[in-house]
């Protein structure tokens, strides 16, 4: 079961901070929910810098990033 990080409604850098915490916990896959393209890109870059793979999916007006090791 995926760990879900609901970062909707937060502005950067909060989505990145929440995502980094989840990655450090090591429970994969991680699904990160965000609303803006800026948050999507910042979370994606942070996860990739930590050696993770990221898949992005648009769901209506929201974005879901699935992070795996």
Give the start-to-end residue ranges of the domains of the chain.
3-68
- Give the pLDDT mean for 13-17: 97
pLDDT at 61: 86
Q: Which of 30, 34, 36, 41 is nearest to 69 (CA)?
A: 30
Q: Using only C-alpha atoms, what is the Rg of the chain?
A: 10
| CATH 3.30.110.40 matches 3-68 | yes
What integer best gives the mean pLDDT of the chain? Answer: 96
The C-alpha angle 3, 8, 14, rounded to 5 degrees, equals: 85
Rounded to whole angstroms, the maximal C-alpha distance in the chain is 29
pTM above 0.85, yes or no: yes
């Amino acid at each position: 079961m995926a760990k879900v990080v609901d970062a909707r409604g937060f502005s950067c850098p909060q989505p990145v901070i929440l995502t980094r915490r989840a990655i450090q916990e090591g429970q994969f896959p991680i699904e990160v929910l965000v609303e803006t393209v800026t948050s999507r890109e910042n979370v994606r870059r942070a996860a990739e810098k930590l050696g993770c793979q990221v898949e992005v999916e648009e769901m209506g007006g929201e974005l879901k990033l699935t992070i795996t090791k």
